[in-house]
Amino acid sequence: MYNDKNKQKIVDIIKNAARKHSLWVLAYGTGCGAIEVPATMTSRYDAERLGVRGAATPRQADVLLITGYLTVKTLKRVIRVYEQMQDPKYVIGFGSCTINGGMYFDSYNTINQLDLYLPVDVYISGCMPRPEAVLEGFGKLQELIGKGIANGAQQYKENLDFYRENQKKVIKNWDFQDYNW
């Protein structure tokens, strides 16, 4: 229960302080938002000064950054990637598309609402959000982690049935074995 505010022990406070300042981001560049990530990471906005750094594989990553619309096909991959990540892990929904479908709200093949399928900790609105907004989003996530209430992964585990039901409703050919921790 390390992410429950009322029961935060001293160890958890230290751990959360470390986690907060060391966010390794797996940027799942699905849509047009992928182009904003380099801008955020490089010289102009330099996310690394906040401890935000790119990670190469889900095993090493803390934050799953979903940058844009998700088709049914990519949603499946995103879920797979999310479940391969190790605890503690956070999800940032990036751009309008992840919030309510954005300009693809009536597409036959993109989901409209990411938080039905994955536990989103922070949404960054905008189409596209500028790097300032992205940094603001990371700041918000850091704040939540520091308070110990960024407990999306916890929610996901507890309400796994709910998420699985939603996921399977959209993904017809559900072919990977049910993953547990």
Partner 1 sequence: MESLLMNILGAVTTFLLAFAVGMTYGGLRRKIVARVQNRYGPPFYQNFIDAFKLYSKSTAIHHGAMHFLGPAFIMVSSVVSLMFIPVLTNNQWFPNLNFQGDLIFLIYIMVFGPLGMALGAGQTGNPNSAIGVTRGLSQMVGFEIPWVMALIALMVQYKTTSITGLLDIQVQSGHWFMFENPFAFSAAILASLGMFRYSPFDIVGAPTELASGPMSENGGKFLFVMMSSGSVFAFVKLTLIVDLFMGGASNLIILVIKTFLLYMIPVTYGIVSPRYRTEQSITYFWGWPLFFGLIAIIYAVFF
Partner 2 sequence: METLLEKIKDRVNANFDLKDYKIYTDLKRVDLFFNKEHIPSVLLYLKEQMGFRHLMHMSVVDWIEEGEFEIIFFLWAPKEKVKIFVKTRIDRDNPVMENMDNIWPQLNTYEREFKEMYGIEFPGLVAPEEFILESWSGPPPMRRDFETDKYAKDNFATRPGREDAQDVRETIAKRSGEDIPDFAKKYSR
Partner 3 sequence: MDIINIILVIFFAGALITAFAAKISSIVQDILFIGTILATSIIFFLNINTNTETIINLSHINLTLGLTPLSLYFAFIVFGLAVLAGFYAVGQMQGKKKKGYFYFNYLLSIAAMFGILVSKDLVSFFIFWEIMTWSSYLLVIYNGENVQKTGIKYFVLSAIGAYSMLMAIVIIHSLTGSFLISDLISGFNNMSANMQILIPVLLLTGFGVKAALMPLHIWAPDAYSNAPMSYTAIFSGALSKMGIYGMVIVFLTLITKLPQETLIRDIIAWLGAITAAISTLWAIKQDDAKRLLAYSSIGQLGYIVVGVAIGTPLAMLAGLFLAFMHGVFKSTLFMVVGAIEKQTGTSNLKEVTGLIRKMPWTFIAALISIIALAGIPPLGGFVGKWMLYESLITSNHYLLVTLVFFSSTAAFLYCYKFLFGFFLGQEEKEWSHVKEAPAIMVVPMLILSLISVVLGSFPQLILKPINSALSYYSLPDTYNNLWKESMIFNKWGDQVALTPIVYGVAIVFIVFAVFLFFKNRKTSRYVTTKDISTSGEVPKEHENLTFKENFFQPFLRAVEPAMKRQMDKYMLAFAKGLEDLFDFTRRIYNGNGQTYAIYAIIFVIILLLLSNNLFS
Residue placing its CB nearer to partner 1 in the complex, 54 or 133: 54
CB distance 61 to 89 below 8 Å? yes
The CB-of-122 to partner 2 minimum distance in angstroms stands at 16
In the complex, the smallest distance separating the C-beta of residue 74 from partner 3, rounded to whole angstroms, is 8
161 lies in the binding site for partner 2 (CB under 8 A): no
Span of 17-25, 34-42, 84-92, 98-106 interacting with partner 2 by CB under 8 A: 98-106
Q: Which of 48, 132, 158, 165 binds partner 1 (CB under 8 A)?
A: 48
Distance CA 64, CA 68 (A): 12
User: Whole-angstrom Cα distance, residue 26 to residue 37?
Assistant: 11
Binding to partner 3, residues 33-72 (CB under 8 A): 57-59
Residue 176 interacts with partner 3 (CB under 8 A)? yes
Report the partner that residue 77 touches, choosing among partner 2, partner 1, partner 3, none (CB closer than 5 to 8 A by kind).
partner 3
Phi and psi based region of residue 64 (left: phi greater than 0; alpha: psi -120 to 50; beta: remaining)? beta
Per residue, the 3-state secondary structure of 111-179, as one string, reads: CCCHHHCCCCCEEECCCCCCHHHHHHHHHHHHHHHHHCCCCHHHHHHHCHHHHHHHHHHHCCCCCCCCC
The verdict on 7 binding partner 3 (CB under 8 A) reads: no
Can residue 125 be called a binding residue for partner 2 (CB under 8 A)?
no
Question: Judged by CB, which is closer to partner 1: 53, or 140?
Answer: 53
Residue 87 interacting with partner 3 (CB under 8 A) = no
How far apart (Å, rounded) are the C-alpha atoms in residues 68 and 98? 6
Task: Report the amino acid identity of residue 129.
Answer: P
**Structure letter (DSSP) for residue 27:** E
Give me the residues that bind partner 2 (CB under 8 A), please.
72-73, 76, 99-101, 105-113, 116, 166, 169-173
